[in-house]
Amino acid sequence: MQGFNVTRELASRLIGKSLRTIDRYLKRGKIRFIKVEGRTWLSREDVLSLANGHNFSNDKIDDTDMSVNTEDMKFEQGIANSEITYQNNNSIVLKNLEEKNSQLQIQLEKNTNLLNLALKKIKVLKIELSNSIDLNEHTAKINLHKENQIKYQNYIKKMDFHYKTQQKKYKAQINNINDKLDSEKLNKMIIAFILGLILVLQPLIFIFTK
């Protein structure tokens, strides 16, 4: 309906012609119109063009209904004000839509930048993945490392047991040697005591033997 928002009555008052004349203009195609839900809406452009003083000399129409009283003028002014308010509201709505469209455009640019950044990161990750070690190879190396670790642990346990056994053996040998040394010391002490006793008793034995 954009551009078709003038009623027959309003056109009659704006042009200064009767409704019968307006209907004849409609039939002749001098004023374009549409019908919506049983109501006839005239082209605002055509009505204003006729209202601006075009020649009506060829219109053989009885224009007895040309008077416009005070109430009609008020009615016309009210309609004009309503149209101005309608246009202002449309301007406000259009301005709000333009602002929202601008905000959406800015958000779209931000989202586009984020998407490009994400694509670059994905590309870098793909390159790093292609240069990295194959997962199966990595798993095989981990398993080999675990097996070697178990082997080393078992070897360390065996060596620890071996060294402990040797330590016990050496301790036993040391104890035996210490026991032998103690026995030899005791024997030497006994021999030394006997020899000392002989030396002490030797003069007495010599006297008694005479």
One-character DSSP codes across 99-123: HHHHHHHHHHHHHHHHHHHHHHHHH
What is the reported pLDDT for 40? Answer: 95
Q: Which residue has the higher pLDDT, 134 or 39?
A: 39
Rounded Cα–Cα distance for residues 76 and 49 (Å): 18
Q: Which long-range contacts (CB under 8 A, 24 or more apart) does 65-73 make?
A: 65/12, 65/18, 65/19, 66/16, 66/17, 66/18, 68/13, 68/16, 72/13
The neighbouring-strand residues paired with 36 are 39
pLDDT tens digits along 154-165: 874 887 787 588
What is the reported pLDDT for 81? Answer: 59
Length of the chain: 210
8 Å CB contact between 68 and 37: no
Q: Which residue has the higher pLDDT, 196 or 94?
A: 196
What is the reported pLDDT for 135? Answer: 59
Q: Grade residue 171 by pLDDT with cuts at 50, 70 and 90.
A: confident
What is the reported pLDDT for 129? Answer: 65
What is the reported pLDDT for 57? Answer: 41
Domains and CATH numbers, the chain: 1-67 (1.10.1660)
Is pLDDT of 92 > 50?
yes
Q: Grade residue 70 by pLDDT with cuts at 50, 70 and 90.
A: very low
Rounded Cα–Cα distance for residues 131 and 30 (Å): 79
What is the reported pLDDT for 94? Answer: 67
Is pLDDT of 120 > 70?
yes
Tell me the average pLDDT across 110-134: 77
What is the reported pLDDT for 114? Answer: 83
What is the reported pLDDT for 181? Answer: 75
What is the reported pLDDT for 15? Answer: 95
Is pLDDT of 196 > 60?
yes
Provide the residue type at 23 as one letter.
D
What is the reported pLDDT for 64? Answer: 39
CA 59 to chain centre: 72
Rounded Cα–Cα distance for residues 8 and 17 (Å): 10
Global confidence as pTM: 0.29
pLDDT tens digits along 43-60: 999 999 999 865 444 444
